[in-house]
Amino acid sequence: MGAKANILQTSASAVCYSVAECCWLVWSRSSHINLTDCQLNSTRWLISGCLHPTQTQWLPVLANIPPANLHRKSAVDKKMLCKIDNRQDWPVHADVFFTHPSQRLSSQHPIWLDLSPVDMNSQYKEDWPTASVTNCAIVEEPTSRQPGFNLPHCSRSLLNRFHTGQGTCKAFMYKWGLTKSPICSCGDPHTMDHIVISCPVTKFEGSLMILYGDEDNAVNWLNSVVTTALTE
């Protein structure tokens, strides 16, 4: 059945994130930081059970791990900039806040380009409503654990795929060359939203918002209807 999300999350923090966060104060503005972010996204995919076509903005929400860029910025602000700002006798104080060294390469992103402090959770809440993410309106509090987080891995993964709109429905299977038709038995395109909202055979009695928040009924619906529909 797979490990529960809280176990995967704790393991990821201990094994993956502890390594990725090592010396962030030094290399958080490296031009190669995206290579690390790709590996962290792979960890979030594993925790959430989502498919790889899922928009990456969904992954921190469903894995309940803050976005790496905000986490890095917050760590630098709290652990380094605040300390330097309070020690005006240090030579580095003038380098960071006043007489900046010349920038030799355009690929460099020195720390003094962005000295405004950021509160990680507040910024995350502010950014989420404006993100171009499928079904983002169903999440009111991106920083907290989402409904279904403690469900068994199989149920949680399937629910997350409905929330993100990316799953093994016929429309996507056809796109990937794994089935002959993208059409549902009712005659409409067999998408994840169609299964929940409009299919007369499988639709959930209520909106996607209700499915997101009603954990018990969502699991009953998955077990009784959807699992069979997605494996036909």
pLDDT tens track for 15-30: 887 777 777 767 777 7
Q: Which residue has the higher pLDDT, 224 or 153?
A: 153
Per-residue pLDDT band at 59 (split at 50, 70, 90): very high
Q: Which among 189, 219, 187 is positioned nearest to 204, based on CA atoms?
A: 219
CB 47 within 8 A of CB 65: yes
| Mean pLDDT of the region 185-200 | 88
**Cα(179)–Cα(125) distance, rounded to whole angstroms?**
39
Confidence of residue 1 (pLDDT cuts 50, 70, 90): very low
Rounded to the nearest integer, the mean pLDDT of the chain is 82
Q: What share of the chain is helix, strand, coil (3-state, %, to 5)?
A: 55, 0, 45
> What is the mean predicted confidence (pLDDT) over 180-189?
89
CB 148 within 8 A of CB 218: yes
- Report whether pLDDT(232) > 60: no
- The DSSP-derived string for 109-127 is --GGG------HHHHHHHH
Between 66 and 231, whose confidence is greater?
66
Show Cβ contacts of residue 155 under 8 Å, excluding neighbours closer than 6 positions: 148, 219, 222, 223
CA dist 129 → 13, 124, 126, 136, 160 (Å): 26, 9, 7, 7, 18
Q: What mean pLDDT do residues 102-110 have?
A: 74
What is the rounded CA–CA span in Å between residue 91 and residue 84? 9
3-state class (DSSP) for residue 136: helix
Residue that the structure tokens 């890095």 belong to: 72
Using CB atoms within 10 Å of the CB of residue 171, give its burial: 0 to 12 exposed, 13 to 18 middle, 19+ buried.
Answer: buried
Inform me whether the pLDDT recorded for 107 exceeds 80: no
Q: What percent of the chain has pLDDT over 70?
A: 95
Question: What CA–CA distance (Å, rounded) separates 156 from 50?
Answer: 9
Domain parsing of the chain, residue ranges = 5-135, 168-230
